[in-house]
């Protein structure tokens, strides 16, 4: 496999996303194709309450998906509030490559996807519908900090967006981010994941960053852009992520006690760093090295 190539992804399912991305990178493919492959794996193969087809719905019982993709040369595309399309990340890529725009939302995004040949299919699973019915008994919007509870049925945890960043053997960077957003959000709510600069930012001159957690905090702080700019000023990926977390806390000290915010960064030399507001954020790293490819690292917090 090509030396220098590396891919990193958020959360424990990042192992699977990295494996899908590595099929591209390991064969000498480019970073953009790799992150799309990784994100598609999370949207399609994985059945998880916070990404893709198995996502939990909003408070009205509607599943709406957000995704973005970005190449290190500045090309980017995104979709938000997209319904009944299984691969938002690929629609985001089509927005990037086939339109003069960067972002499409809602019905317009869906119409564009269908015109591009993406099948329209109802996505809400029976399990997600049941979780929603359960949630409606209290109808309280209270995102949980703890990611550990995420795999249980009816589970309320929200912090499982897939963010994936890759560096290919030619030194190109790319990233993607895909999510069903915060469970039980207001109908129409859009998080950070599809917003370039908030949930994802990539610049070949410097590095790439992505985020998971309560997206409002990332949008408020233009957080992924902030992480990349801090790396541009010379910070290591980990220091850049930590400083961005400190910014989040400084802006909203009280709210920060109850919310989870996590950053993951990869610089152009392939160095990786992460930092989270609260403990429990894990990420997966894959490269051509001899180590185990399913190793997860726990971020400092
Ligand atoms: C959002 N950042 O929509 C996403 C949520 C997240 O699993 O990380 N969810 O705010």
Confidence of residue 295 (pLDDT cuts 50, 70, 90): confident
Residues 6+ apart with CB under 8 A from 239: 230, 273
pLDDT of 64-101, one tens digit each? 999 999 999 999 999 999 999 999 999 999 999 999 99
Q: What angle do CA 165, 88, 188 make, to 5 degrees?
A: 110
Residue with CA nearest ligand 1 atom 3 = 181
Q: Is 192 in the pocket of ligand 1 (CB under 6 A)?
A: yes
CB 159 less than 6 A from any atom of ligand 1: yes
Indicate whether residue 158 lines ligand 1 (CB < 6 A).
yes
Q: Is 182 in the pocket of ligand 1 (CB under 6 A)?
A: yes
State in Å: Cα 169 to ligand 1 middle.
30
Whether residue 179 lies in the annotated active site = no
238 C-alpha vs ligand 1 centroid, how far in Å?
Answer: 21
So what's the ipTM on this one? 0.97
Distance in angstroms (rounded) separating the CA atoms of residues 98 and 105 = 16
In which residue are the tokens 């994941």 written? Answer: 193
Per-residue pLDDT, 149: 43
Indicate the pLDDT class of residue 150, thresholds 50, 70 and 90: very low
Give the residues across from 51 on adjacent strands: 48
Number of C-beta neighbours around residue 200 at 10 A? 36
Contact 172, 72 (CB under 8 A): yes
Sheet holding 173-179, edge to edge: 103-105, 76-82, 65-71, 173-179, 162-167, 6-10, 282-287, 296-298
- Does the pLDDT value for residue 147 go beyond 50? no
Q: Which of 13, 191, 219, 221 to mutate to test the pocket of ligand 1 (most atoms within 8 A of CB)?
A: 191
Average pLDDT for 123-133: 93
8 A C-beta contact, residue 69 and residue 195: no
Tally of CA atoms within 13 A in the half-sphere of 204 that contains its CB: 13
Give the DSSP H or E segment for 220. Answer: helix 215-220
Residues 6+ apart with CB under 8 A from 126: none
Burial class (CB in 10 A: 0-12, 13-18, 19+), 214: buried
Nearest to 24 by CA among 219, 190, 167: 167
49 lines ligand 1 (CB under 6 A): no
Pocket lining: 212 vs ligand 1, CB cutoff 6 Å: yes
Among the listed residues 64, 161, 178, 210, the single catalytic one is 161
Smallest Cα–Cα separation from 188: which of 53, 39, 57? 57
> Residue 90, Cβ neighbours under 10 Å: how many?
24
Q: In this predicted model, what pLDDT tens digit does every residue of 254-283 receive, in sequence order?
A: 999 999 999 999 999 999 999 999 999 999
Distance 301 CA to ligand 1 centre (A): 18
Q: How many CA atoms lie within 13 A of 158 on its CB side?
A: 21
Pairing mode, strands 65-71 and 76-82: antiparallel
CA 241 to chain centre: 15
Q: For ligand 1, say whether the CB of 194 is within 6 Å of any of its atoms.
A: no
Mean pLDDT over all residues of the chain?
Answer: 93
Q: Which two three-digit tokens encode residue 33?
A: 């194709």
Other C-beta atoms within 10 Å of 220: how many?
14
Q: What percent of the chain has pLDDT over 70?
A: 95
With the most atoms of ligand 1 within 8 angstroms of its CB, the residue from 14, 46, 50 to mutate is 50
What CA–CA distance (Å, rounded) separates 65 from 53?
9
272 in helix, strand or coil?
strand
- Residue from 193, 221, 276 whose mutation best tests the ligand 1 pocket (most atoms within 8 A of CB): 193
pTM: 0.95
């Amino acid at each position: 496999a090509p030396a220098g190539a590396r891919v990193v992804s958020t959360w424990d399912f990042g192992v699977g996303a990295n494996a899908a991305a590595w099929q591209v990178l390991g064969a000498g493919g480019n970073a953009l194709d790799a992150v799309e492959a990784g994100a598609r794996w999370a949207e399609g193969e994985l059945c998880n309450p916070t990404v893709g087809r198995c996502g939990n719905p909003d408070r009205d019982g509607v599943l709406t998906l957000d995704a973005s993709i970005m190449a290190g040369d500045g090309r980017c595309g995104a979709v938000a509030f997209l319904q009944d399309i299984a691969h938002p990340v690929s629609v985001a890529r089509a927005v990037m490559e086939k339109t003069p725009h960067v972002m499409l939302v809602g019905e317009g995004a869906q119409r564009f996807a269908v015109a591009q040949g993406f099948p329209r299919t109802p996505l809400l699973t029976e399990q997600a519908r049941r979780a929603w019915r359960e949630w409606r008994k209290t109808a309280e919007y209270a995102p949980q900090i703890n990611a550990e509870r995420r795999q249980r049925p009816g589970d309320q945890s929200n912090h499982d967006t897939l963010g994936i960043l890759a560096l290919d053997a030619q030194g190109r960077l790319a990233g993607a981010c895909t999510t069903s957003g915060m469970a039980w959000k207001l109908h129409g709510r859009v998080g950070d994941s599809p917003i370039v600069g908030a949930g994802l930012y990539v610049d070949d001159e410097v590095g790439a960053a992505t985020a998971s957690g309560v997206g409002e905090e990332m949008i408020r702080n233009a957080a992924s852009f902030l992480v990349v700019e801090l790396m541009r000023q010379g910070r290591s990926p980990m220091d850049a992520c930590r400083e961005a977390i400190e910014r989040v806390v400084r802006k909203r000290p009280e709210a920060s006690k109850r919310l989870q915010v996590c950053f993951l960064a990869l610089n152009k030399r392939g160095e990786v760093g992460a930092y989270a507001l609260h403990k429990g954020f894990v990420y997966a790293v894959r490269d051509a090295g001899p180590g185990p490819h399913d190793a997860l690292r726990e971020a400092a917090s």
